[in-house]
Amino acid sequence: MQELRGRTAVVIGGGQGIGRGIALALAREGMQVAVLDIERDAARRTAAELEALGAKSLGLRVDVTDAASLAEAEGAVTTALGPVHVLSNNAGVSAPQGPITEKSETDWSWVFSINLFGIVKSVQAFLPGMRAHGQGGHIVNTSSMAGLVAIADLQVGVYTASKYACNGYTEILRAELAPEDIGVSVLCPGLIDTNLAQTSARNRAAAFGGPMPEPAPMPEAMRATAMAPEDVGPIVVRGIRENRLHILTHPDASLALVRARFEAIEADARAQARAEASS
């Protein structure tokens, strides 16, 4: 999708972090941007920033676990800003660190309800309108490097599993929508200076146990090496224009990790083939 100016984008999870960075970048490309977030005030603050840049914007609260909330938002966005051409799904949470075997069923349900099914429901809400206008479009689902490589030492196993699922869903979605001139990308960020753990903790719904104590902020040593969320936005814009399947914030590091993973898979496959050939 090359032409962005004058068209409408929806950025879910756009009130802060990576979503806000994407919203800013899309506004600078001349798009009208609807900012949707679980935190209404954050959505409105970002929308005000975009309007200060000269972009028409709208800030709404949305709960991606609730199809009715998404349907209401879709109607409000279309009425205010017109048909949607770009959908950026950034809502995400992470359970507290710890061994995957110690995570409860509630932990699994909570993380997957947002990191996977929240994306599925958001696409179901906005895709029909994108199809109806017939002008093509683009969907970007935010995953993580944890959706490409599982690193046990990070102790974010539930998050990793949800991001692997996001990547698989996005690849199938891309293949299915390609004939309709709707591109689909998966954004796999590396270390970004966000407050994911803090926003996750304070916004956990009552159905999953309610808010958690706020965790410690990102250590300063990590923060010093992290990419600013605002720098992610232009990377995403380029990925949309180039219709990339994988949009990577740290391509060199990503390549090294992914190569190691697939070399391990290849080694296992070759070893199995040799064993079967000699049996």
Catalytic residues: 159
The Cα 64–Cα 37 span in angstroms is: 9
The one-letter code for the residue type at 114 is I
How, if at all, do strands 84-89 and 8-12 pair? parallel
Which among 71, 164, 47 is positioned nearest to 122, based on CA atoms?
71
The Cα 19–Cα 37 span in angstroms is: 9
- Cβ contact 177:220 at 8 Å: no
Q: Which two tokens stand for residue 7?
A: 């068209």
The Cα 122–Cα 265 span in angstroms is: 33
